[in-house]
Amino acid sequence: MTTQRTGAYAQAVVALAEGEDALDAVGTELRTIAAAVEGSEDLRQRLIDINLPLGQRLKFVESDVLRAAHPATRSALAMIIAAERASELGEIAEAVATRSAELRSRELAEVYVAAPLDATRQRALVEALERATGKRLDVQVHVDPTVVGGVRAKIGDTVIDGSVARRLQDLRTRVGR
């Protein structure tokens, strides 16, 4: 859920990224970083610990891990950490992705697949989802082994679940009756 404050930080990140002509890169990188931070309790704690000097927390931005990130991504991340909003990084990254899609008159679609898709398959998936929803989409693909096979997509409040895991669950429900 995006709060007014989270939305304001997201808008600042979008403005920064647009100024650098790097909105796609910043949006993608920020979401990847947010997922990594959420996946590491140690890293998350170091970024949100206000008892650590700011310089210590900002070392993450200049670390080797982020060396390949766009400078605008590193600047946005530094702003978020310095403002003591690192605990909201995931929400800010989501709001940036949503705003980025809106700026292109598109809707954000989160797609979960069991294995990475090549460019041809990803393009076909986007086309199929756009036909199914009647919307122009910005698709963000996430690899999630629990999908097993097929696709699970979330577009706004709509969930399209064509995953093998879902089909197996449906089968278990029908057989269990």
Q: Which of 79, 101, 123 is the last residue of a domain?
A: 101
Among 101, 132, 147, which residue terminates a domain?
101
**Which domain CATH number covers 145?**
3.40.30
- Whole-model pTM: value is 0.73
Place of tokens 């997509």: 153
What number is the average pLDDT over the span 155-172? 81
The continuous run of DSSP H or E covering 171 comes out as helix 164-175
Residues 9 and 77 in one domain: yes
Boundary residue ending a domain (101, 119, 147): 101
pLDDT in tens, 83-126: 999 999 999 998 998 888 888 888 888 899 989 999 999 999 99
Mean of per-residue pLDDT scores for the chain: 89
In this prediction, residue 79 carries a pLDDT of: 95
pLDDT of residue 1: 53
Does residue 50 sit in the same domain as residue 95?
Answer: yes
* Closest C-alpha among 52, 107, 123, 101 to residue 81: 52
For the residues 148-170, what does the mean pLDDT come to?
Answer: 83
Q: Do both 97 and 111 map to the same domain?
A: no
Distance CA 162, CA 129 (A): 12
CA dist 149 to 28, 136, 160, Å? Answer: 24, 25, 14
**Same domain flag for 22 and 96:** yes
Residue type, 112: Y
Is pLDDT larger for residue 57 or for residue 172?
A: 57
Decide which of 13 and 164 is more confident: 13
Q: Examine the domain organization and report whether 57 and 110 are in the same domain.
A: no
Under 8 Å between Cβ of 91 and 11: no
| Same domain flag for 65 and 51 | yes
**Same domain for 54 and 78:** yes
pLDDT at 177: 57
Please tell me whether residues 41 and 95 are part of one structural domain: yes
Could you tell me the residue range of the domain that residue 134 belongs to?
A: 106-175
pLDDT for residue 11: 94
Q: Which residues contact 149 (CB under 8 A, 6 or more apart)?
A: 114, 163, 164
What's the pLDDT score for residue 166? 77
What pLDDT digit, counting tens, does each position of 61-91 carry? Answer: 888 888 899 999 999 999 999 999 999 999 9
pLDDT per residue as tens digits for the range 29-60 = 998 899 899 989 999 999 999 899 999 999 98
Q: Structurally, how many domains does the chain consist of?
A: 2
